[in-house]
């Protein structure tokens, strides 16, 4: 039986819920560590499945953070006259997707 490590602990069920609290850089670093260990054949089959699930959660989190950054960058737009307007806070994704025209826009 192999010794436990910090990386082993990182894949415990209680840690899966903490993915959303990680920065992009932290999530990528953990994902890279999981990939290295999977490539090195350091996991049992069950540990490999758990690592894959954790990796998928990390990948999804990174994608969401990148999408949010992209949306924020897209918010830095020009006015109709080509002048920089600055930045605006991001709308929560569910509001952006379901938002309809404002009464003043109709």
Tell me what percent of the chain is helix, strand and coil, each rounded to the nearest 5: 65, 0, 35
Q: What confidence tens digit (pLDDT) does each residue in 30-73 have? A: 999 999 998 987 789 999 999 999 999 999 999 999 998 887 77
Q: CA separation (Å) from 19 to 23, 28, 35, 62, 80?
A: 9, 11, 16, 10, 40
pTM of the predicted model, to two decimals? 0.57
Average pLDDT, integer, range 19-36: 95
Question: Is residue 31 within 8 Å of 59, Cβ to Cβ?
Answer: yes
- Closest by Cα among 13, 38, 16 to 27: 16
């Amino acid at each position: 039986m192999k010794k436990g490590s910090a990386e082993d602990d990182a894949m415990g069920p209680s840690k899966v819920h903490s993915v959303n609290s990680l920065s992009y850089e932290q999530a990528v670093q953990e994902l890279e560590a999981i990939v290295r260990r999977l490539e090195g054949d350091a996991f049992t089959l069950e540990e490999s499945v758990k690592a894959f699930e954790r990796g998928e959660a990390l990948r999804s989190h990174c994608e969401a953070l990148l999408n949010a950054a992209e949306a924020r960058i897209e918010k830095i737009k020009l006015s109709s006259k080509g002048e920089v307007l600055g930045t605006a806070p991001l709308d929560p994704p569910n509001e952006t997707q379901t938002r309809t025209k404002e009464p003043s826009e109709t």
